[in-house]
Structure 1
């Protein structure tokens, strides 16, 4: 496939017709010289459903380290030797201060992220207390990412005003046991089902660069489509020293752009967020990612630094795009 074929693929996506596995594989196998035509086609889909708006999100690392899980990519896991801060769930006032900072950074969504297998009852109550005050005083959407979640805890978060809950599938089901053994792929699906049943918006994405094949990448995109995830963070592995995946090579920028185009074709109406690792994988081609994606994080990630906010704002302006205001 090439040239006009990408346009036909975009037309299918705009009509919300299914993109086949074969068509998806053709996107990933495209020659590097096809990246600009491919992004042109992906942008036609993005513009149809999102115009030139860019959604901004900000993370607060609400609980760091102290995690019993053995996820190979994570600096906070029990098997990591990376030097990260370790602390229990932040106090309410600190979470409120983070929300105020999110507003200053022009973020529409404030993401409260905590390490661990899943939240205790007490931790859920702490988050509920903070979220209730944030929603009462600030024009922010709240996304929580606290690990595995029961139906009861999901209902409490929804009632407090948490609009979105993040729980990534991270990788392909077949590859999952090579990435972590302390929980299963199905455990992750169960949490997402509880999220959907509660009425919260499901947020689920992937980490690219952990050994997945092209076929698995396409199938991961299909899995997210079947889960009906409303927001899809696309992380590109930032291999941190001291983690089991230390030393893995970064995804090449042009390949990263092909993957983002693929996800836009398969998930035409969904928020696609270029997330962790964009700075070290996309490097100078970061602006091109927004021709397929429509969302980014501003500021730092959980344990790694992000691009300076001012550079993100300049990137958006130089593209002729605009920051989407929070609409509650």
Structure 2
């Protein structure tokens, strides 16, 4: 196995894709986990040193989505007891973004549930971006990168978001094309690819990743990684399923820290010079091995997620420092049997009177 890991590392340092057989071997679990992490860490250090980029999510509207994505607590038919609210104001979003930037966040992700935005929704985001930039200027803060995630895009919408000052557009593929219809029936894998291509063509930085722990096979993981690589995103969020009661996947607790780290290692080999982001579900599935994940991912979400709570930001910043990493500055270029009660419904941040935990 050492020969395989050496070859994977050499290929990644040359920005070459692993073969399917090599990728499957990473996931197979026949090799020592620490050897896999060490090989991926060599690639991570070559392209990103010891920097960790901090990102945060602002859920602009929560719940009542007409789509039926099985993993989502906001889906059609969900009985998960999440926060439900309509659009927060641009001023509320700007205040939340400002606190996050003060905590070290470099990218703010504006997310709204729904199939895709209407004209009024795009105007709301335009106003929100303006409010965030105005608040930064008034308070002497560096301007955060703004990433937008609104679902499927129509003609001309990506261009409007870019002109408004958005830096990136996020739209995950989530699972392999072959099994996509098992996870969602209200739109297709091709719909998601189309939106990501629209975003990239408009000049927005494409962000697209996956959710693991939904019953996918090793082959599905490799298929998805290779499909994402063909789309050439600048950032790849790696999510691990948060099994909400009241959703079709609420009883899925199949992930282990070992499995999560092998997936992250595979994505580092497939995306050597791309921002690999440690995203939702890391706390409940990686648990005490989260510091090891920093040797593979160069980016992490800080604070709460869309409808579930994350760890306090101070704890994550301490973890980053304790593991020997540094938080990426605003002026630094980024690129060249779990227990059900571990899922904490978000009750703070956007849509509430309580501040976010960044």
Judge same fold: TM > 0.5, yes or no: yes
Report the equivalent of 2:180.
176
Deviations 1:117-162 (A, max 9, x none): 0111111011111212323525210001111112311100000110
Report the equivalent of 1:231.
235
**Residues 110-189 of structure 1: pairs in structure 2 closer than 5 A:** 110-136=108-134, 137=137, 138=141, 139-189=143-193
SS at match of 2:109: strand
Runs of 4+ aligned structure 1 residues displaced above 3 Å come to none
Report the equivalent of 1:38.
36
Deviations 1:34-89 (A, max 9, x none): 11111111011000100000000010111101210011111111121101122111
> Which of 301, 312, 328 is equivalent to 2:305?
301
Report the equivalent of 1:80.
78
SS at match of 1:158: helix
Report the equivalent of 1:10.
9
Give the whole-Å Cα distance in 2 for the aligned partners of 1:121 and 1:196.
Answer: 20
Give the whole-Å Cα distance in 2 for the aligned partners of 1:201 and 1:306.
Answer: 26
Structure 1 stretch 158-167 or stretch 307-316: which is displaced more?
307-316
SS at match of 1:97: helix
Deviations 1:8-35 (A, max 9, x none): 211110011221000000100133x611
TM-score computed with the length of structure 1 as normaliser: 0.97
Indicate conservation of the 8 Å contact 1:52/1:322, yes or no: yes
Aligned positions, number = 326
Note if 1:247 corresponds to 2:251: yes
> Which of 281, 291, 295 is equivalent to 1:291?
295
Unmatched tracts of structure 2, length 5 or more: 334-358
- Post-superposition shift, 1:212? 0.9
CA RMSD of aligned residues (A): 1.2
Indicate conservation of the 8 Å contact 1:273/1:295, yes or no: yes
Indicate conservation of the 8 Å contact 2:239/2:278, yes or no: yes
Give the whole-Å Cα distance in 2 for the aligned partners of 1:63 and 1:250.
Answer: 30
SS at match of 2:95: helix
**Residues 303-318 of structure 1: pairs in structure 2 closer than 5 A:** 303-318=307-322
Report the equivalent of 1:103.
101
Deviations 1:277-326 (A, max 9, x none): 00111011011001111111111101111112111111110111100012
SS at match of 1:317: helix
Indicate conservation of the 8 Å contact 2:90/2:131, yes or no: no
Report the equivalent of 1:62.
60
SS at match of 2:66: coil
Note if 1:24 corresponds to 2:23: yes
Indicate conservation of the 8 Å contact 1:12/1:19, yes or no: yes
